Each structure stands twice: as structure tokens, then as C-alpha cells.
Amino acid sequence: MTDVILAMIPMMLGSAIAPIWIILVLLMLRSPHGLVKAILFVAGASVVRLLQGFIFGYLFKSSDHVGGSSGPSPVVSALLLMIGILLLITAVKTLRKEEDPDAPPPKWMTLVDSASPSKLFILGGVVTLVAAKLWVFTLSAIGVIRDANLSESQSWTAFIVYMLGAQSLVLLPILIYLVLPSQFVKLLGSATDWLQKYNRIITLAVSIIFGILFLWKGTSGLLS
């Protein structure tokens, strides 16, 4: 299972390094009842990811692909290629100063202070459902797990590891807030401002690096 987790690390990182999501969680933590809001927002996203893992894990398992080959299945390679293309498109859009289509709409950002925790739980699920790149990252991870022919328990363990890795950078502020609340409150403003300032640079760098990586992995997998 270690090899499977290592193979999923690029997918975890590509999914996790999304400044706008981190900013959204930081804004929630600054708002009234912020900790509850942030936890429920991430919980909503987690529920959707678990449902994706259950539904598509079953569909992948029921497919005609037979494990035991030395490389990834054509389905996984095609998904990796799609990730690469989507990320490079995001890089071009970022260079042209266009908005990321997978980012929450600006009007949703203004709901952080006024929205109830239950609405933010729903919001977490909705933004996960409508983000195309997150879908492809998750489906690729499911494909990698299925290609490894793990047992049911091992497959779910690997998927939970992927899910935690993919959400690590939105979980981290919540954990720090729980452990060091007084110190973290002082850092919230500066951290949010820094991410907002360098959002485009981070998005551009991540999109180019991981876009080329996934494009190469997907193409080489399809041609092998």
C-alpha cells in the first residue's frame, strides 16, 4: 500500500495547493463561530469526497480492467492526461488574469460572515462537486488504488489517506487554531493577506509544474 500512497502524492499536492480554498477557511476562522464554520465546511467537502470514493470505487472495481500489469490502466492514464491539460489551461487563464473556474464565486466569499454553519457545510459539498479539477484528481486517485488490487480495507485506508492529504492545507489552519488559538488569531490576518497577495503566483506555479507532470505521466502511460 505504501507504493499506492507514494503514487498518489502528486494528486494530493495538486488538490491541496489551492490558495482560494485556504483563504476561505481562514476567513471563516476570523468570523463569529469561525471554528464551527470551518470544521463544517471541510466536513461537507469530505462527505462529497467519500461519496465519490464509494460510487466510483465500485464502478472502477466493476470495470473490465484486469490488474497485474506493470503500468497504470488506460483509464488512469487518460485521467492523468486530463489533469495535465486542465492545469495548463488554468495556467494560461492565470497569466491572462482570468478567474479560476474551479474557485468559489466571489459572492460566496462574502457569505462567510453571515452564513450559518449548516449552510457552510452545504457550501463545502457544493464547491467540491462543481470543481472539475478536484473531480479528476479524485478519480485518478481511485484509479491508482484500483490498479493496485488492494483488499477492501486497504483500498479504503488508501483513499482516506488521499482525502486527508488533498485537504491537508485546509485542515492545518483548523488544527493550529485548536492547539494554539491565541497565537493563531494574531497570524490570521497576515496569513490571509499574504495568500490573497500571492494567490495568482502560487496558482500559476502549481498549475505549470503539476500540469507538465501529469501531462507526461498520462501520455507515457497511454503510449506504454
pLDDT in tens, 64-100: 444 445 556 787 888 888 888 988 988 898 888 777 6
The residue assigned the cell 502560487 is 202
Question: In this structure, how many other beta carbons lie within 10 angstroms of the beta carbon of residue 46?
Answer: 19
DSSP 8-state class, residue 72: -
- For residue 199, the model assigns a pLDDT of 82
**DSSP conformational letter for 131:** -
Torsion, CA 178, CA 52, CA 152, CA 172, rounded to 10: -20
Closest CA to 160 of 12, 61, 7: 12
CA dihedral (108, 112, 116, 118) in degrees, to 10, reads 60
Cell numbers for 6, please give them. 507514494
**What cell was used for 61?**
472495481
| pLDDT of res. 156 | 93
Residue 30's pLDDT is 84
What total number of domains does the chain contain?
A: 1
Range of the domain at 132: 2-223
Q: For residue 103, what pLDDT is reported?
A: 63
For residue 9, the model assigns a pLDDT of 92
Which among 163, 214, 139 is positioned nearest to 5, based on CA atoms? 163
Q: In the numeric block, which cell numbers belong to residue 186?
A: 494574531
CA 94 to chain centre: 18
For 120, residues 6+ apart whose C-beta sits below 8 A from its C-beta are: 28, 37, 40, 41, 44, 111, 112
Can you give the pTM of this predicted structure?
0.81
User: From CA 149, how far away is CA 128, in angstroms rounded?
Assistant: 27
- The CA distance from 37 to 6, in Å, is 32
> What's the pLDDT at 169?
92
Residue 64 has what pLDDT?
A: 47
Q: What pLDDT, on a 0 to 100 scale, did the predictor assign at position 46?
A: 94
What is the predicted pLDDT for the residue at 65? 47
pLDDT of residue 172: 92
What pLDDT score does 52 carry? 92
Collapsed DSSP state (helix, strand, coil) of residue 173: helix
pLDDT at 47: 95
Q: Name the nearest CA neighbour of 112 among 34, 176, 35, 181.
A: 34
Residue segments in the chain with a per-residue pLDDT below the cut of 50 = 64-68
